Copies of this chain bind each other. A is one copy, B any other.
């Protein structure tokens, strides 16, 4: 996933800052423009030159993968927050909203991610496992408290929310309403 240059030796602090700024800028650009996001605009938004961008991410797909990994990381953090919520149903609800945002962002990366998945068939599976782990973690406390149906799995959650939010024509309003329906349906 990481480029050999960045994986083989520790980065200096300014290189780390640049890399983080590039990933953040790319996230924002992909969210706004999907596959039409331009490399030049990403560098500009990050406040670095295009040469710096290419040193960190030699190919566009490297940047797409880094953004997607960041989305999954954000989701994993939401699962930890959800699991720590004193109200387990509210915690699960928060995680589901985070997953809906993740799914909508993934939709913007999908066209280019397909390419990465075709190049590395294990990658899709590996990332899906991280997603399911995140969903399991968010689900467990609500099931332990008996407020959510015991027969549901993290994979079920992902399919329910993802199926709704990955649709190309879904509006934020409709997604919110449908998420609400799903949440109500999860109750034990």
A→B interface (CB under 8 Å): 149, 151-152, 155-156, 159-160, 162-164, 166-167, 170, 174, 177-178, 180-187
Q: How far is the CB of A103 from chain B (nearest CB, A)?
A: 10
- What are 22 inter-chain pairs, A to B, with CB distance below 8 A? A149-B181, A151-B177, A152-B181, A155-B174, A156-B174, A156-B178, A156-B181, A159-B164, A159-B170, A160-B163, A160-B164, A160-B182, A162-B163, A163-B164, A163-B167, A180-B185, A181-B182, A181-B185, A182-B182, A182-B185, A185-B185, A185-B186
Nearest first, the 8 closest Cβ-Cβ pairs linking A and B are A163-B163, A185-B185, A181-B185, A184-B185, A163-B164, A182-B185, A160-B178, A159-B164
- Given known contacts A164-B160, A167-B163, A170-B159, is B181 in contact with A186 (CB within 8 Å)? yes
Chain A contact surface mostly: helix
Contact of B181 with A160 in the complex, beta carbons under 8 Å: yes
**Residues of chain B lying within 8 A (CB to CB) of residue A152:** 177, 181
With CB as the reference atom, state the residue of chain B lying closest to A179. B185
**Residues of chain B lying within 8 A (CB to CB) of residue A184:** 184-185, 187
Instruction: Please measure, in the bound complex, the distance between the C-alpha atom of A149 and the C-alpha atom of B177, giving whole angstroms.
Output: 11
